Amino acid sequence: MTQFTFVDILTNLLWASRWTLLLSLAAFAGGGLLALGLLFAAIGRARWPGRLVRLYVEIFQGTPLLMQLFLAFFGLGLLGIDVSPWLAACAALILWSAAFLVEIWRGCVMAIGRGQWEASAALGMGYAAQMRHVVLPQALRLAVPPTVGFSVQVVKGTALTSIIGFLELTKAGTVLSNASFQPFTVFGLVALIYFALCFPLSVGARRLERKLNVAH
C-alpha cells in the first residue's frame, strides 16, 4: 500500500487547485460576458427581451447548480452529444453565474436615481448616450463590490463539479482520502486551500465597498 506523507497530500491538492482556479476564472469571465448581453436586453425599452431574461434568471436561480451540472453532462450525453467534464462544468457554471451577475448589475442600474435620467434627457441625450455617459459609469461604481463578492460563490460552486468527475480540488481530496485513509488531514487541507482562495476576495469586496461608499 502506498504511504502518503503530509507533503505528498499537500502537493497533490495544490496541483489540483489550479483546475479550481482555471474553472473559476472561465466561469466568472464567461458568465460576465453573457450577463452583460443579458443586461442590455433586460434594461432596453422593448419589453419581450426583458421578459425572456427574467425567465432565464428564474430558471437558473430557481434550480440547484448540482442539477444543472447533471443536465449539462449526463443530459447531453443521452442525446448522443459527447461532452467532457471540463466542458460541461464550464457551460453550467457560466450559465449559472450569468443569472446572478445580470441581477446584480440590473439592480445597480435601477438604483440610479430618476433625476439622473431626467437631467440627461433635458440635455438632449438619447437613450444610448444616457446609458453610456451617465447611468453605466455610476452603476459600475455600485456594482464592483457585489460582483467581487459573488466571485467567492463561483469559487465555492466549482466544488460541485466533482460529481460529474471533474478533477478539481474537492474531487482530488476525495481520491486522496480514499487512497491515504487520512480524511481529516486531506479535507482539513482542502478547507484551508478554499479559505486561502476565497478570503482575499471577501476582504477585497468589503474594502471596495467601503472605499466606494466614502468616495460616493
* Cα separation values, 174 from 104, 167, 168, Å: 34, 10, 10
The backbone region for 145, taken as left when phi is positive above 0, alpha when psi lies in -120 to 50, beta otherwise, is: alpha
Would you say the C-alpha torsion 82, 83, 84, 85 has a positive or negative sign? Answer: negative
Comparing CA positions, the residue from 47, 149, 158 lying closest to residue 96 is: 158
147-193 pLDDT, tens digit per residue, is: 988 999 999 999 999 999 898 999 999 999 998 889 999 999 999 99
57-114 pLDDT, tens digit per residue, is: 999 999 999 999 999 998 877 777 788 999 999 999 999 999 999 999 998 888 877 7
Pair 156, 198: CB distance under 8 Å: yes
Q: What share of the chain is helix, strand, coil (3-state, %, to 5)?
A: 85, 0, 15
Domain ranges of the chain: 6-215
Averaged over 124-147, what is the pLDDT?
Answer: 78
Dihedral angle over CA of 54, 55, 59, 61, nearest 10: 10
pLDDT exceeds 90 at position 21:
yes
- DSSP letter assigned to residue 216: -
As a whole-number percent, the residues of the chain with pLDDT over 90 amount to 56
pTM: 0.89
Question: Distance between CA 151 and CA 11 in Å, rounded?
Answer: 25
At residue 215 the predicted structure's pLDDT band, cuts being 50, 70 and 90, is very low
Enumerate residues 6+ apart whose C-beta is below 8 A from 31: 93, 94, 95, 96, 97, 98, 100, 101, 154
Buried b (16+ CB within 10 A) or exposed e, 81-93: eebebbebbbbbb
CATH topology of domain 6-215: MetI-like fold (1.10.3720)
